[in-house]
Every structure is written in C-alpha cells, then in structure tokens.
C-alpha cells in the first residue's frame, strides 16, 4: 500500500521576466529546493501561507509551468512535463480553484470534451449513457444533460472530479476545493475522496482549513516562502506545531498596534444597496481607525468597496465624506479628495504590470505632482525612491518593471502608489493576498503606521487572524448585507466572526 | 561593458532605428544613386505628410484601438478644403480651420462610439470611413478640383534650402506630439490606459477622456495631412488617401514599434517607421523593380522587418 508513486526532488523555480527569461542573480525563486512525494492510496495535504509556493508546485506537477531545477519521478519513471496534456495522460488530474468547465456546454459534453466518441457525428446517446454511469459510480446525482452553468459550484466541482477520474487518473490535485462549499457539500466531498482512495486514487489536497485536515489527510507537507519545511504523518498532527512550521515564528510578532482611532467620522454610508434585492448597508469609518470587513468570498465585500469608489453601480443610499454628502463618485474625484481603493486583484486592477515601479507609484498622483501636465523625471525619481525605501520594496531600482517583482513587493508598489497620493481614507481589499509572510508583517506595520498618522482604513479580509488582530471594529457581511458589527477588539474571535458569516 | 549594454538597450527599445540604419547602410552600398543629398531630401519630403498621419494612428493604436477611417478622412478634408478655397472662395485660414474642425467632429464621433456606445474601434472606424468616403464624393460629385490658389499652394510647397515647408510643418507636429506623448501626464496616462485599462481607471486616470481624445487627434491630424497633400499635388480629390493609405500608415506605425495590443509606441518610432517605408519604396524605384513586383517586394520587406523586430523583442 505504501509504494511511493510520485517523487519530486530539489524542485526550484525562478520568477520569470516578461520575456520568459528567469531572473537569476536576484534571489527571487518562488520555489527553492522543494521535496514532495505521494504514496499509493493516500491523501496528502499540502499546506502553507499564501505565496508559500503550493500552487506553483502543483502547477509544475500538472504540467502548466516547467520547473527550472530538480527532478520528478512518476511511477518510478523520470518525467518532465511541457504541457498539461502530458501530465494528464500520465495520470495526474488537476482540479483548479477556479473551475475550468465550459459553462455553455452540458455535463456530458464537458466530460467528453476533446474525446468525443463516434466518427463523423458524435455518439450523443452513448456519451450521455457513459456520463450517467460515471456520475453514479461516484455517487453523484446529476443529470448529464444539465448545462454546467445551471449547476452550483459544488456540483460543478463534482463534474470536475468525475472528469479527472474518467481520465484514469492516479493522482488528483485539488486546489482549495472547499473554499466555496457548504459544510454538507464538504462532507460529501470527503466521502468522495475516501471512495477514490479505496479505488486506488491518491489525492493531493491543498487547503487552509485546519479543521478539515485531520479528518481527511494521511500525511501533510508544509511549504514556507517557496521552501520545503517538512512532511509529517497526520497522527503527529498538532495545531501549534503546524502553525509554527507554516509561519516559522510566533504569530504575536506579526501585528503591531500604535494607532488609536479618533471620533472624527471620515466616511459614512447610509442605506446603500449593492444589488436591487439585497438589504441596505450602513457603515461608518473614523479617522485613524482600522475597520475590518469580514465575510465569505461572494458576500459582497468587494462590491461594497467598488460601489463606494464609484466603479460599479449601486442602488439607493447616501454617502457622506468628511461630513459632506457626495453627489458624484468616480476614482478621479475620490483620489482628489483623498479616498482610495486598493483592489483585490493586484495584477489586473492594481498595477500596470509592464510599467516601471516608478510609473506605477506616481500613476495615481500625476495631477497632484504635475499640475501643469509636464512630467518631471526628477520628482518622479525622488518620490519613487523614497517609497521604495519607506516600504522596503526589494528591487533593482525604480525603473524595474512591476511585472518582475514578487507578490509582496508588487503589493508594496500598489501601496506606494496610494501613499504618494496622500490618502485620508484607504480601502484595502485583501491587502495581503498572495503575499509572503515576511512582507505580510511589513504590510501590517504600514497599515498600522497609516492609521497612526490619522488615515482611516477600511480593510476587507478573508484571513480571520489578520482581520481580528488588525481591526478596531469589524463589520461582517453576509449575502450582500452587513450581518454584524463587532466593536470591542478584546472580544474578537475567529469563531464569532465565522458565526456571523454563515 | 556598461557602454555596450546601453547600446543594445537603446536598440531593443527603438527597433525602428536599427531597421532604418540597416536599410540606409545596405541601400547606400548596393543601390545606385541612393546615397545622394537630393535623394535624402526626396525621402524626407515623401515621409513628411504620412508621418503626421502616423502619429495620430500611433496614439489610437496605443489605446488598443485602431482608426480605419484615417485615410478617408484625408480624402474628405482634401475635397473640403479644395471646395472652400476654390469653389466657395472662403479665405485660406478659415477654410483650413473649418476643415480641421470637421476632422475634430469626425474624431469626436469615432471616440464617442468607441468609448460610450462600446462599439469596437475596428467596426466604428470602418463604418465611419465609408461614410466619409461617401460624403466626400457627394459634396464633390465625385470630381477633383484642380488649380488651387497659388497662395494656398505656397504654404506647403515653398522651399527652405533643399526641403519643402511641409517637412518643417511635419517636424513641428512631431515635436509637439513628442512632448504630449513622452513628457506630459497625458502621455503617461495614455500609456497606462493602453497597458491596463482597469488599473489606470482605478488610479484616477481620465480614461474616457483619453480614449475619445486620441480619435479626435487622429482625425485632426488626418485633416492636416489631407490639406498638405492637396497643396503637394495641387489638386483636391475625394478619393485621396483612402483605405490603402490607412494601411500604409498602420504598417509604418507597426514598423515603428507600436504594439497592436496597446500601451507601447512612440513618436520617433512612428516617424522612423514612415521613413523606413519610404526608403524601401525609394530603393524599389531606384532599382527599377517592375511595377507589379513593387508591392510584393514591399510586403516581403515589411514582414521581414517586423519579424526581425519581434524576434529582438522576445529575446
């Protein structure tokens, strides 16, 4: 039973520049000498902070990106994947966090995508017959003729699993499969995983949720900052020990708190609806205060932020900024008045990736810095170098392209962009997503420093520890509305926040 | 070492300069009569007017859009200025002004469709282009206007040394737009907009205004080109410019290193792109390449040049 079927040794991966050339010399490896192995019939949990390299490692295994150093042995054979198809035919199924099904096709068509049976015309009846059998064998009650877009996320995930199993996969990679599932659906998923195990399929399971790990896992591997920390048997699982492995230091050093909120109100939202049928939202943010916005993905937190920022339509409600009713909202007006929004999607909405660090940092304050529309390279250089110093951005210089920076440094560039625009209220949407632990602590320190300087902070976060430790007040959102306001930092617990999100 | 690195960096950023240098060196060595002051003056004169149009196209391409109506705008402005100065006897400055305003309105319409109604630029400007061609032919009854007033012609045809005034007018536009694109906040925002629309919008760049402005600039510069071309050939024609001209200008812009995906482009690049094109043309003429072969050879050279540039970029 305990044959090792997959072994990945000394895997390293450099960050690539825009031309696909590894950036050697700078010490930016996203994976550094990582070891990972999978045995027959086991559920192997892969765990690590955001940016620890879990996804990268799995992408290498899935043939999506090549590794630069190291070796992969699958069933004792040395392999090197150059595309996902190869890895699939070798028996590796990959269920991505973002499901990749064709929404406009039905279940059977998705299952048989690229391998339709029949000669000239596809053998529809046969396909549906086979699909039904595949689905029922794993205990799924889904009609193969249902268009995938009508299925819930959980059901879509099931289709993905069936698809992976149908390829005769021996190893199935699941990247945070439970992120958007309900408890009942999670239980079902676990049943399936156990079922697969009995049928001789191993699972690599990426997750953050400690509670579920013990229930499902056989072994656990921890990655940290792109490096391999260790593998333990689940029988030796101990909460504190694993946290220690993940973080590499005690968590109490992560957060600082130098700021004290004042009573002066900066922003007040009254009765804003983010969709026609949701409950109206009323919130307030004060000077020098860090207000946390908690809730599950899809609870409407980003929508709220974007509605306030005026880049998304909202319904009814009033917004008061520094005591005055705001009539028209758009980014340009807000930035002039000091309200800014750091987006959740750093690569798409936060940064102009092909532009230099310098260009990105000054982008939001062009009008303030150069009132007569003439760029002054000296001013730009001064601002960007001071931001690079202040935020400790690791780079070769202000001319380096933002695309070539690591996640944490990219986030610092976005922060630098907003800091140089002199914010009075900063909305941060998942400020530490995809950021390594070291940079995370630095970002917390920056946020705390801003609040201490009197900047009002509204921080949307899915990471409960960060939400609890950073916030002076927490609004929890559920189904597009605020379900609770928690005002006493001493009573913040993960359990309480969670209770309001569900 | 650092010195050579600077050079390679310069060339990888300005591929068109490398192309043009290679072209000129090879042509000088192998093509008779190429290396002559008069010939260079001729090439500059030929490049002057398309350069103006190419700057406009470059700005539009940098937003990720395209202006296919550019060539037809040249025809419309040519016939419009011709009709005004000759048939209706309007004063020369006013005629030119009216024509430029006409260009601005067309650009505004293009920009409005692209930005506000969200019609893809390709479709918008294709449609506008045909409308412009139609209008130009309706107002002129399809006829050309010859023998334009001397005073009008003098603006473009007067020689200063070896060069026409057109060359200097063109140079003026190049300098102005060099400032606009490379030294002003507008240019920076335009570039950011072309590279990432969401990021630049959320950073407070006036993206809607930029997107409309580039079409206005493109059409106004096309009008300028139309007016100057009419002076050059002493004739106002509704079919001047046209689709062929548009594609020559796009070709030149691409040769000049503009990215069709938006965001990347430069004024010197646009100008060098046009000059490269004209040098190639010039050589084809000097080498007595049969007429029918000319455009095939031109196509091959252009493809090679662009492949060469791309290969450099990818390294």
What is the ipTM, given to two decimal places?
0.86
Q: For residue A244, tell me if it sits in a domain.
A: yes
Q: For residue A343, tell me if it sits in a domain.
A: no
Nearest CA in chain B to A374: B184
Classify residue A99 by its DSSP letter. -
Q: Which residues pair with A14 in a beta bridge?
A: A29
Helix (H, G, I), strand (E, B) or coil at A444: helix
Interface mutation vs chain A, best among B183, B188, B202, B311, most A CBs within 10 Å: B202
Q: Do residues A467 and A405 both lie within one domain?
A: no
Radius of gyration, alpha carbons of chain A: 24
Q: What backbone phi and psi angles, to 5 degrees, belong to B243?
A: -60, -35
Helix axes B207-233, B150-157, angle to 10 degrees: 110
- A302: which residues sit within 8 A by CB, 6+ positions away? A344, A429, A460
Q: For residue A479, tell me if it sits in a domain.
A: yes
Among A319, A284, A296, smallest CA distance to A477 is for A296
Nearest CA in chain A to B204: A332
Helix (H, G, I), strand (E, B) or coil at A351: coil
Into how many domains does chain A fold? 3
Q: For residue A196, tell me if it sits in a domain.
A: yes
Q: Do residues A403 and A307 both lie within one domain?
A: no
Q: What backbone phi and psi angles, to 5 degrees, belong to A440?
A: -60, -55
Candidates B183, B263, B314; nearest CB to A374: B183
Provide the residue-wise pLDDT of chain A in tens; the chain has 502 residues: 468 888 888 888 876 544 445 555 455 677 888 999 999 889 999 987 666 788 888 888 888 888 888 889 988 888 888 888 888 888 888 888 767 788 888 888 888 887 776 666 667 788 888 888 888 877 777 888 888 888 877 788 888 888 887 777 889 998 877 766 777 777 888 888 888 888 888 999 987 677 778 888 899 999 887 889 889 888 888 877 887 787 665 545 678 888 899 999 999 999 999 989 889 999 999 999 999 999 887 788 999 999 999 999 999 899 999 999 998 999 999 999 999 999 988 888 999 999 999 999 999 999 999 999 999 999 999 999 999 999 988 888 899 999 888 778 899 999 999 999 999 999 999 998 877 666 788 899 999 999 999 999 999 998 888 898 899 999 999 888 999 999 998 888 877 888 888 7
Q: For residue A73, tell me if it sits in a domain.
A: yes
Q: What's the rounded Cα separation, in Å, for the pair A230 and A46?
A: 10
Of A394, A422, A450, the position where a domain reaches its end is: A422
Domain ranges of chain B: 46-314
Q: For residue A279, tell me if it sits in a domain.
A: yes
Q: For residue A240, tell me if it sits in a domain.
A: yes
Q: What's the rounded Cα separation, in Å, for the pair B281 and B276?
A: 9
Of A389, A422, A455, the position where a domain reaches its end is: A422
Q: Do residues A108 and A205 both lie within one domain?
A: yes
Q: Do the Cβ atoms of A351 and B200 come within 8 Å?
A: no
Q: Do the Cβ atoms of B203 and A331 come within 8 Å?
A: yes
Q: Do residues A199 and A82 both lie within one domain?
A: yes
Q: Do the Cβ atoms of B205 and A363 come within 8 Å?
A: yes
Q: What is the CATH number of the domain that holds A118?
A: 3.40.50.300
Q: Do residues A25 and A170 both lie within one domain?
A: yes
Among A351, A341, A347, smallest CA distance to A458 is for A341
- A58-71 as b/e, with b when 16 or more CB fall inside 10 Å? bbbbbbbeebbebe
Q: Do residues A94 and A167 both lie within one domain?
A: yes
Q: Do residues A200 and A233 both lie within one domain?
A: yes
Residue ranges of B 236-295 with Cβ closer than 8 A to chain A: 263-264
Q: Where are the beta strands (DSSP E) in chain B?
A: 145-146, 159-160, 163-164, 235-236
**B chain contacts of residue A356, beta-carbon cutoff 8 Å:** none
Q: Do residues A58 and A156 both lie within one domain?
A: yes
- A487: which residues sit within 8 A by CB, 6+ positions away? A473
- B121-133 as b/e, with b when 16 or more CB fall inside 10 Å? beebbbebbeebb
**B chain contacts of residue A373, beta-carbon cutoff 8 Å:** 184-186
Q: Do residues A290 and A374 both lie within one domain?
A: no
Q: Do residues A146 and A183 both lie within one domain?
A: yes
Candidates B187, B199, B204; nearest CB to A352: B199
Nearest CA in chain B to A368: B185
Q: What's the rounded Cα separation, in Å, for the pair B140 and B150?
A: 21
Q: What's the rounded Cα separation, in Å, for the pair A255 and A252?
A: 6
List the domain range (segments joined by +) for residue A356.
Answer: 348-422
For residue A482, give the H/E element and its range: strand A481-486
Of A196, A215, A250, the position where a domain reaches its end is: A250
HSE-up (13 A, CA, CB side) for residue B37: 3
A369 C-beta neighbours (distance < 10 Å), count = 17
Decide if A51 touches B, using CB distance below 8 A.
no
Among A238, A5, A13, A205, smallest CA distance to A95 is for A205
HSE-up (13 A, CA, CB side) for residue A344: 15
User: A333: distance to nearest CA of chain B, Å?
Assistant: 8
- B207: which residues sit within 8 A by CB, 6+ positions away? B189, B193, B197, B200, B201
Q: pTM of the entire structure? A: 0.77
Nearest CA in chain A to B312: A19
Assess contact for A38 and A4: CB atoms under 8 A. yes
**A chain contacts of residue B191, beta-carbon cutoff 8 Å:** 355, 359
Q: Do residues A287 and A391 both lie within one domain?
A: no
- Provide CATH code, domain B46-314: 1.10.3470
């Amino acid at each position: 039973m305990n044959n090792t079927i997959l072994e990945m040794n000394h895997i390293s991966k450099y960050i690539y520049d825009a031309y696909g050339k590894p950036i050697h010399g700078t010490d930016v490896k996203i994976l550094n000498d990582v070891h990972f192995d999978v045995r027959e019939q086991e559920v192997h949990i892969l765990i690590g902070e955001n940016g620890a390299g879990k996804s990268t490692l799995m992408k290498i295994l899935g043939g999506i990106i090549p590794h630069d150093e190291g070796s992969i042995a699958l069933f004792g054979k040395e392999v090197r994947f150059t595309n996902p198809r190869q890895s699939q035919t070798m028996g590796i199924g990959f269920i991505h966090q973002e499901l990749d099904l064709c929404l406009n096709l039905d279940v059977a068509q998705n299952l048989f995508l690229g391998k339709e049976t029949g000669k000239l015309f596809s053998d529809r009846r046969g396909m549906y017959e086979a699909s039904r059998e595949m689905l029922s064998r794993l205990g799924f009650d889904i009609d193969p003729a249902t268009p995938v877009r009508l299925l819930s996320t959980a059901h879509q995930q099931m289709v993905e699993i069936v698809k992976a199993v149908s390829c005769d996969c021996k190893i199935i990679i699941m990247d945070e499969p439970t992120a958007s599932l309900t408890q009942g659906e999670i239980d079902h998923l676990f049943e399936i995983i156990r079922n697969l195990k009995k049928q001789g399929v191993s699972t690599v399971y990426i997750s953050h949720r400690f509670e579920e790990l013990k229930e499902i896992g056989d072994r656990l591997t921890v990655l940290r900052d792109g490096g391999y920390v260790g593998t333990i048997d689940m029988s030796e699982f101990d909460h504190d020990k694993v946290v220690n492995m993940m973080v590499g230091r005690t968590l109490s050093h992560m957060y600082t708190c130098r700021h004290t909120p004042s009573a002066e109100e900066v922003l007040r939202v009254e009765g804003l609806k983010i969709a026609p049928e949701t409950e109206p939202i009323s919130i307030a943010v004060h000077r020098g205060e860090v207000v946390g916005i908690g809730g599950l993905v899809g609870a409407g937190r980003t929508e709220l932020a974007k509605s306030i920022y005026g880049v998304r339509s909202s319904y009814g409600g009033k917004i008061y900024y520094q005591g005055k009713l705001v009539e028209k909202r758009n980014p340009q007006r807000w930035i002039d008045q000091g309200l800014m929004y750091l987006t959740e999607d750093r690569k798409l909405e936060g940064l102009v990736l092909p532009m230099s660090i310098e260009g990105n940092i000054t982008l939001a304050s062009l009008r303030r810095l150069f009132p007569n529309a003439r760029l002054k390279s000296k001013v730009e250089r001064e601002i960007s170098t001071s931001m690079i110093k202040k935020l400790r951005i690791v780079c070769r210089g202000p001319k380096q392209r933002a695309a070539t920076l690591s996640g944490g440094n990219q986030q610092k560039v976005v922060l630098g962009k907003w800091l140089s625009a002199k914010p009075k209220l900063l909305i941060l949407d998942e400020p530490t997503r995809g950021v390594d632990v070291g940079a995370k602590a630095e970002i917390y320190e920056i946020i705390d420093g801003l609040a201490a300087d009197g900047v009002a902070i509204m921080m949307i976060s899915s990471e409960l520890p960060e939400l609890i430790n950073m916030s002076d007040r927490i609004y929890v959102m559920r189904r597009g509305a605020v379900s609770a306001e928690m005002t006493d930092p001493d009573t913040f617990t993960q359990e309480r926040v969670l209770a309001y999100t569900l | 070492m650092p010195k050579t690195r600077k050079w390679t960096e310069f060339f990888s950023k300005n591929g068109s300069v490398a192309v043009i240098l290679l072209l000129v060196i090879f042509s000088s060595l192998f093509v008779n009569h190429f290396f002559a002051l008069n010939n260079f003056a001729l090439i500059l004169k030929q490049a002057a007017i398309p350069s103006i149009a190419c700057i406009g196209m470059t700005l539009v391409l940098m937003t990720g859009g395209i202006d296919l109506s550019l060539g037809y705008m040249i025809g419309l402005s040519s016939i419009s200025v011709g009709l005004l100065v000759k048939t209706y006897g309007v004063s020369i400055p006013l005629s030119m002004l009216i024509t430029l305003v006409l260009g601005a309105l067309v650009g505004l319409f293009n920009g409005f469709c692209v930005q506000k109604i969200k019609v893809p630029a390709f479709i918008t400007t294709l449609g506008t282009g045909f409308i412009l061609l139609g209008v130009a032919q309706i107002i002129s009854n399809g006829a050309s206007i010859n023998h334009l007033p001397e005073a009008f012609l003098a603006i473009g045809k007067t020689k200063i040394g070896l060069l026409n005034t057109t060359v200097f007018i063109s140079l003026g536009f190049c300098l102005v737009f060099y400032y606009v694109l490379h030294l002003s906040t507008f240019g920076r925002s335009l570039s950011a907009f072309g590279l990432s629309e969401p990021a630049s919008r959320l950073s407070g760049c006036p993206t809607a205004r930029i997107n409309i402005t580039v079409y206005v600039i493109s059409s106004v510069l096309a009008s300028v080109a139309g007016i100057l071309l009419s002076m050059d050939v002493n004739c106002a024609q509704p079919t001047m410019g046209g689709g062929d001209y548009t594609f020559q200008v796009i070709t030149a812009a691409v040769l000049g290193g503009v990215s069709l995906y938006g965001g990347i482009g430069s004024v010197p690049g646009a100008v060098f792109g046009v000059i490269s094109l004209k040098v190639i043309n010039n050589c084809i003429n000097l080498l007595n390449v049969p007429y029918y072969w000319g455009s095939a050879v031109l196509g091959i050279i252009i493809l090679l040049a662009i492949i060469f540039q791309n290969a450099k970029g990818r390294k």
